[in-house]
Chain A
């Protein structure tokens, strides 16, 4: 009997101890509205990496706790909404699906390169911040890469009555909105994607690499500007 009580007490203490040292953030269905922009008359095919279905970032913050930020499928939702607002026709293909039978003007491969966050204990401010760096590779209908564009997004939320996890969640949504805004406004200028319209004929670009040949990439590799 006494042994059972001891085990129960130790278990409770362990549970309390471990729960006090971790912060869980789960992002479900971020609020990212449709874009109020003119659509580019293009038929695009999009392929997402596997981690867009379930992106999880973990970091042990020294002096704070172990943070697990689960973006779930939020990146996929964000890009589906974004490309749906930007182009007249969008088709998403899954891993293993071939491009051979598809008619399209542009093929886009978005990816997430880096995720970072800062809490008040680190930044010595009252705010929580999230940085996300995406990369968009754009190919023409012949599989020639015309652009390799990194997009840096930032979201900041002041700490208030909300707990740290909820505040980081808000900052992450703001970073995703920032990425959506930048890509929606600047993608054409940065990548020249609208020139790929079949109505314009073949794109006048210097071939940098082809689909699956990313090592040769040398085309547009500029950070997005702060404003248009």
Chain B
């Protein structure tokens, strides 16, 4: 029994580097591009923060709520963290002015919105300086291969190879609520190919396209908003 165990360990030890290198080579198929366009200088004072929201689905947007949470969590963590106001509480406190149908689609609508009774006060009380509107989504753009699995009384297994490519395209529009103007936009385009070879056991080598897009966008947003080094 012990021998079996040691044999098994020896097998794992000899194969492990090969598997790890193969996994790294295969799972490293992610390319990313991040661009920002700055319209004005940005500055966040102490007590000021941001709120991250999805652009309206009335405008055809389908940004995943998971992605919005990911960007918010990433911005609110680490040494360069920003104050991120939860979007649900922000939208509820300003109901009905940030609903998908009523939210301003352009910065030109900000002046009218801020002039409405109670709106500016509610925004100020929550310390929201910038609204970050997210637009875009992650889509599967290609895929192929084949895999078949079978199971019988003596056991089961899979054989084959499958792959798929996901593209994550997102754009963040940053609105300065104090200046009532657009501060700029940041776009990220991440493409990743995942593989799943199967020789009895399927080994998924997943390209975390959306997570990569989230981290890249959050990092760039953090730099963009803290450009002058103030916190």
Instruction: Give a binary string over A28-56; 1 marks a CB under 8 Å from any B CB, 0 the rest.
Output: 00011111111000000000000000000
Q: What's the least CB distance linking B138 to chain A, in Å?
A: 11
Q: What's the least CB distance linking A133 to chain B, in Å?
A: 15
A227 CA / B102 CA spacing, docked (Å): 6
Which B residue sits closest to A224, measured CB to CB?
A: B101
A228 touches B117 (CB 8 A): no
B62 touches A34 (CB 8 A): no
A38 touches B100 (CB 8 A): no
A182 CA / B101 CA spacing, docked (Å): 8
Chain A residues whose CB sits within 8 angstroms of the CB of B162 once the complex forms: none
A32 CA / B62 CA spacing, docked (Å): 22
Q: Name B95's contact: one of A35, A156, A226 (CB within 8 Å).
A: A35
Q: Name A181's contact: one of B96, B117, B119 (CB within 8 Å).
A: B96
A160 touches B101 (CB 8 A): no
A36-B119 contact, Cβ under 8 Å, with A158-B64, A184-B96:
yes
A180-B96 contact, Cβ under 8 Å, with A36-B122, A38-B117, A227-B101:
yes
A34 touches B58 (CB 8 A): no
Instruction: Give a binary string over A144-173; 1 marks a CB under 8 Å from any B CB, 0 the rest.
Output: 000000000010101010000000000000
Q: What's the least CB distance linking B119 to chain A, in Å?
A: 7
Q: B80 an interface residue at 8 Å Cβ cutoff?
A: no
Chain A, 50-99, CB within 8 A of any chain B CB: none
Q: B161 an interface residue at 8 Å Cβ cutoff?
A: no
B101 touches A178 (CB 8 A): yes
Q: A203 an interface residue at 8 Å Cβ cutoff?
A: no
Chain A residues whose CB sits within 8 angstroms of the CB of B92 once the complex forms: 31, 33
Chain A, 212-228, CB within 8 A of any chain B CB: 226-228
B62 touches A158 (CB 8 A): yes
Instruction: Give a binary string over B60-74; 1 marks a CB under 8 Å from any A CB, 0 the rest.
Output: 001011100000000
Q: B159 an interface residue at 8 Å Cβ cutoff?
A: no
Which B residue sits closest to A125, measured CB to CB?
A: B62
Chain A residues whose CB sits within 8 angstroms of the CB of B96 once the complex forms: 35-37, 177, 180-181, 184-185
Q: B146 an interface residue at 8 Å Cβ cutoff?
A: no
A156 touches B102 (CB 8 A): no
B101 touches A156 (CB 8 A): no
Q: B99 an interface residue at 8 Å Cβ cutoff?
A: yes
Q: What's the least CB distance linking A119 to chain B, in Å?
A: 16
A226 touches B101 (CB 8 A): yes
Q: Name B102's contact: one of A33, A154, A158, A185 (CB within 8 Å).
A: A185
Q: Which of B66, B92, B117, B118 has the most CB of A within 10 A?
A: B92
Q: A196 an interface residue at 8 Å Cβ cutoff?
A: no
Q: Which of A31, A177, A180 has the most CB of B within 10 A?
A: A177
A177 CA / B58 CA spacing, docked (Å): 14
A228 CA / B104 CA spacing, docked (Å): 10
B66 touches A181 (CB 8 A): no
A181-B65 contact, Cβ under 8 Å, with A38-B117, A156-B57, A226-B58:
no
Chain A residues whose CB sits within 8 angstroms of the CB of B102 once the complex forms: 181-182, 185, 227-228
**Additional A-B contacts beyond A31-B92, A154-B101 (10; CB < 8 A):** A35-B95, A36-B96, A36-B118, A37-B117, A38-B117, A154-B58, A160-B65, A184-B96, A226-B101, A228-B102
Provide 20 A-B residue pairs closer than 8 Å at the C-beta atoms, listed in order of the A residue.
A31-B92, A35-B95, A36-B96, A36-B97, A36-B116, A36-B122, A37-B116, A37-B117, A38-B117, A126-B62, A160-B64, A160-B65, A177-B95, A177-B96, A178-B100, A180-B96, A181-B95, A182-B101, A226-B58, A227-B102
Chain A contact residues, CB within 8 Å of chain B = 31-38, 126-127, 154, 156, 158, 160, 174, 177-178, 180-182, 184-185, 226-228
Closest 9 CB pairs of A and B: A181-B96, A33-B95, A33-B92, A181-B99, A156-B57, A36-B118, A181-B102, A38-B117, A184-B96
